[in-house]
Amino acid sequence: MAASKCTRLTGALSRQLLDSVDSVLFDCDGVIWRGDQAIPGAPDVINSLKKNGKRVFFVTNNSTKTRQMYAEKLGKLGFDASADEVFGTAYCSAVYLKNVCKLDGKVYLIGSNAMRQELEDVGIRPVGVGPDPISGVQKDWANVPLDNEVRAVLVGFDEHFSYMKLNRALQYLCNPDCQFVGTNTDTRLPLEGGKAVPGTGCLLRAVETAAQRQAEVVGKPSNFMFECVAGQFGLDPERCLMVGDRLDTDIMLGSNCGLKTLLTLTGVSTVAEAEANQKSECPHRQKMVPDYYIESIADILPALQA
């Protein structure tokens, strides 16, 4: 294996890396697809990995789709994948609330219908999905009606995020026994053409600021994202590879959990950013240095077919 980090992955080194792992975890957008189009060659890579006896998992911070919705998208794009191989933050948040928080009660959900579905699938009752228009004056807002069965606030991506939702979350979180969970801290969602829109991290930070509390975050780079996969499939971290396009989420997750890491350059982060982190003396930035980088995940196909 490579003697130093941030090594370009080519030829024989690709085969050596693949021989050293049993399981490969892939981020999705920017790694195996962009928008609604597969990265050229990516389906062949995933399908070849499976034919070579590797286990493949899909780990994404996107909370707007259920596992089944992701499986359907993967299938349409030519990937051999099933819902139980998908670990999105909608699903992982539900698992966290049920198994770690041992939640007994309802959840006030700032999030999507997909999150509502994943919560309901594990037996948790969510409230709050959809628009919540404001009315009245400040005194009314401070005394907004609350559901006395709510025992947690969960914040994910919510296109209907509003002042009243922020206020309602604050009122619930004034109770110190109310648990507080966020899906992820990504502040921007990159789009084609260099555009971007605000991400879940912006919404979560607003709620944290209002409530003067910090959320437990389940998404990358939180260890829980890997633990969720490893716990269900008995993975050995030393025999796992994390493949992603973001240094602050994908590569950081791999570093936090002791996985080998591979940065693809078809998404957000660049080699220059990785090298700058490598030159830094900051321990946090050092965790954002990948073991390897590659132009596109499709570049490992020859090693798989050899």
Geometric angle at alpha carbon 92, from 269 and 99, rounded to 5°: 145
**Cα–Cα distances in angstroms (integers) from residue 165 to residues 55, 62, 216, 264, in the given order:** 40, 20, 19, 37
Q: pTM value?
A: 0.95
Average model confidence (pLDDT) across the chain: 96
Q: What percent of the chain has pLDDT over 70?
A: 99
Query: Annotation-wise, does 245 bind a ligand?
Result: yes
pLDDT of residue 1: 44
Residue 149: pLDDT over 70: yes
Spatial CB neighbours of 162, under 8 Å, sequence gap ≥ 6? 131, 132, 133, 134
H or E element that contains 108: strand 106-110
The percentage of residues in the chain with a pLDDT greater than 90, rounded to a whole number, is 94
DSSP string of 199-268, one letter each residue: -HHHHHHHHHHHHT--PEE-STTSHHHHHHHHHHHT--GGGEEEEES-IIIIIHHHHHHT-EEEEETTSS
User: Regarding the domain delimited by 103-217, which CATH topology (the fold level of the hierarchy) does it fall under?
Assistant: Rossmann fold (3.40.50)
Q: Is 22 annotated in some ligand binding site?
A: no
Was 220 annotated as part of a binding site?
A: yes
**Cβ 127 vs Cβ 146: under 8 Å:** no
Dump pLDDT digits (tens) for 245-292: 999 999 999 999 999 999 999 999 999 999 999 999 899 999 999 999
Per the CB < 8 A criterion, the answer to whether 65 and 115 are in contact is no
Catalytic residue positions? 27, 29
| Fold match flag (7-61+221-305 vs 103-217) | yes
Confidence of residue 2 (pLDDT cuts 50, 70, 90): very low
Is the pLDDT at 14 greater than 70? The verdict is: yes
**Residue 132 labelled as part of a binding site:** no
Query: What are the pLDDT digits (tens) for 153-196?
Result: 999 999 999 999 999 999 999 999 999 999 999 999 888 788 88
Domain layout of the chain by residue ranges: 7-61+221-305, 103-217
- Looking at residue 4, what is its pLDDT? 79
CATH superfamily of 7-61+221-305: HAD superfamily/HAD-like (3.40.50.1000)
